């Protein structure tokens, strides 16, 4: 049986599938040629990440498909319900990349707090002739320890991010419409464990109380953070969005930065991916990454093996 990993899969995933008797194809087929390729090659399993879309037309045109898999969390690039109505299994790997995303968020937050995103640009240009000037320009950093992190969306990734925050000595507050409270267990290198009970509060209270805010919500029709939400925040707040493009109003964000309401912000995802707005790319108050939240070797290994185990479990 053939598996097409159109957006790639880790070697550990290939090895597990091959051992299970599957032929794994890692050719990247262009979207417009995908239907023909799947039918010609008799593909039973299509694995994608965020680059390939699986819509109704493909599902209808490929009767031999049995499983559609998404290496990652969000499945907004797949017509999930329609596929399941047609008898296909749709799988993903919601837990595999949680910690990777959490670490990226904190890479941004630490960098923004100490202006690393700016000084890394300026030092190569001015470090030899304006060292003292740059030192003065970036002398007013802030510490994360003792500050309040507001987490909007307290599922797996939100909780993983909260754990990093707790380890960094931050206070964590969270909003999630589907969760009242949860116990977060931090595991340390020597086997010690510490448990924290986090009770969720209203979105408004999270916005009002937080020094830092991070979004971990699925794609939705309305903005989760728009002009009204920015107005509720503390002056000088720092925000990170490593969830989905379109959950935060980027135009309103730029205005909030200009007014001083938002000091700085991090974006790993964009409304107009893969061509973000130039005003975002050139804004010195923004720390930017090209949708790399789950892009660690460890996460990709976990994603590959998790997909393989699900496929083998479904098809035998």
Average pLDDT over residues 164-169: 98
Q: Indicate the average pLDDT of the chain.
A: 97
Does residue 20 carry a pLDDT above 90? yes
- Residue 33 CB coordination number (10 Å): 10
Does residue 39 carry a pLDDT above 90? yes
Average pLDDT over residues 309-316: 94
* pLDDT for res 73: 83
SS3 of 150-194: EEECCCHHHHHHHHHHHHCCCEEEEECCCCCEEEEEEECCCCCEE
Catalytic residues, by residue number, are 244, 273, 291
Condensed to tens digits (0 to 9), the pLDDT of residues 190-235 reads: 999 999 999 999 999 999 999 999 999 998 999 999 999 999 999 9
Dihedral class, residue 172 (left if φ above 0, else alpha if ψ from -120 to 50, else beta): beta
* pLDDT for res 245: 95
The answer to whether the CB of 92 falls within 8 A of the CB of 69 is yes
Q: Which domains does the chain have, with CATH numbers?
A: 2-93+297-315 (3.40.50.720), 98-288 (3.40.50.720)
CA distance 290 to 73: 17
Does residue 74 carry a pLDDT above 90? no
Average pLDDT over residues 265-272: 97
- Residue 20 CB coordination number (10 Å): 16
Does residue 112 carry a pLDDT above 90? yes
CA distances for 255 relative to 107, 144, 243, angstroms = 24, 25, 21
* pLDDT for res 94: 87
């Amino acid at each position: 049986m053939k598996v097409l990993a159109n957006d790639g899969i880790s070697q550990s995933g290939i090895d597990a599938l091959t051992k299970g008797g599957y032929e794994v194809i890692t050719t990247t087929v262009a979207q417009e040629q995908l239907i023909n390729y799947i039918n010609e090659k008799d593909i039973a399993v299509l694995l994608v990440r965020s680059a390939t879309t699986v819509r109704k037309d493909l599902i209808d045109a490929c009767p031999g498909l049995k499983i559609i898999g998404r290496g990652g969390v969000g499945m907004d690039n797949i017509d999930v319900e329609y596929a399941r109505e047609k008898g296909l299994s749709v799988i993903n790997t919601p837990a595999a990349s949680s910690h990777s995303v959490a670490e990226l968020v904190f890479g941004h937050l630490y960098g923004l707090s100490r202006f690393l995103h700016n000084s890394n640009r300026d030092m190569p240009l001015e470090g030899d002739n304006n060292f003292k000037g740059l030192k003065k320009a970036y002398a007013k950093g802030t510490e994360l320890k003792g500050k309040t992190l507001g987490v909007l969306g307290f599922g797996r990734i939100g909780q993983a991010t909260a754990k990093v925050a707790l380890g960094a000595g931050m206070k964590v507050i969270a909003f999630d419409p589907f969760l009242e409270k949860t116990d977060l267990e931090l595991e340390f290198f020597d086997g010690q464990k510490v448990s924290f009970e986090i009770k969720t509060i209203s979105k408004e209270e999270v916005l009002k109380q937080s020094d830092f805010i991070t979004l971990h919500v699925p794609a939705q029709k309305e903005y989760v953070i728009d002009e009204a939400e920015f107005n509720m925040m503390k002056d000088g707040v720092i925000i990170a969005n490593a969830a989905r493009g379109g959950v935060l109003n980027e135009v309103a964000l730029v205005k909030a930065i200009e007014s001083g309401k938002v000091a700085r912000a991090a974006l790993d995802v964009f409304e107009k991916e893969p061509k973000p707005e130039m005003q975002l790319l050139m804004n010195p108050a923004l720390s930017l990454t090209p949708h790399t939240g789950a892009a660690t070797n460890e996460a990709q290994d976990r994603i590959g093996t998790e997909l393989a185990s699900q496929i083998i479990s479904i098809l035998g």
